[in-house]
Amino acid sequence: MATANDRAVLQSIFNPSTPFGDIPGLDEEEEDVQDEVEAFPLELLDQVRELELQGVSAAESGDLNTALERFSEAIRLLPERASGYNNRAQALRLRGDVAGALRDLDAAIRLSRGRGRAACQSFVQRGLIHRLQARDEDARRDLERAARLGSAFARQQLVLLNPYSALCNQMLCEMLGRLRNPDGTGSD
């Protein structure tokens, strides 16, 4: 596990234009929790979080109906909380309801005002759906927003969307293949 100092050093290497120690998104989760505690009654927030945990557990075990019930109940209790929509979108997508997933992701982004962990996750999910639908510009736009919110996964996906990067990767693979097998015979 990297220390805060390790992350700061890596940040300064990969993003030299940012001040040393300035790691976007590092304190984001703590800010999200504080915002939620201020915005929603604590007892209700705890109940909704428990429902979401039950929903995630059900989805992980393959019980999408129970997962959707738990996420929908969480949304019913706190309809202005983005996290429930984000979670339900994932279950809807797994069930094959892409249109429903996109509606929930749009709601999560709107409710989060495009900030915080729920927005970051929603932008990633929506970007991936756009990629599957061959809507690369929409995917790029969402993944860029997620990357700005701190998603390393979104940054990786943006590299894959870059045609120059893909070409360089292909050329590099070919070159490494020739280095491994200079005479062109045999297999790896």
Q: Counting Cβ atoms within 10 Å, is residue 129 exposed (0-12), middle (13-18) or buried (19+)?
A: buried
pLDDT band at 20 (very low <50, low <70, confident <90, very high): very low
| Residue 52 three-state SS | helix
Sorted by where each begins, the domain ranges of the chain are 28-180
Which of these, 75, 161, 171, lies nearest to 118 by C-alpha position? 75
Classify domain 28-180 at the CATH topology level: 1.25.40
pLDDT digits (tens, 9 = 90+) for 75-122: 999 999 999 999 999 999 999 999 999 999 999 999 999 999 889 999
Q: Read off the pLDDT of each residue in 162-178 and give the average, rounded to a whole number.
A: 71
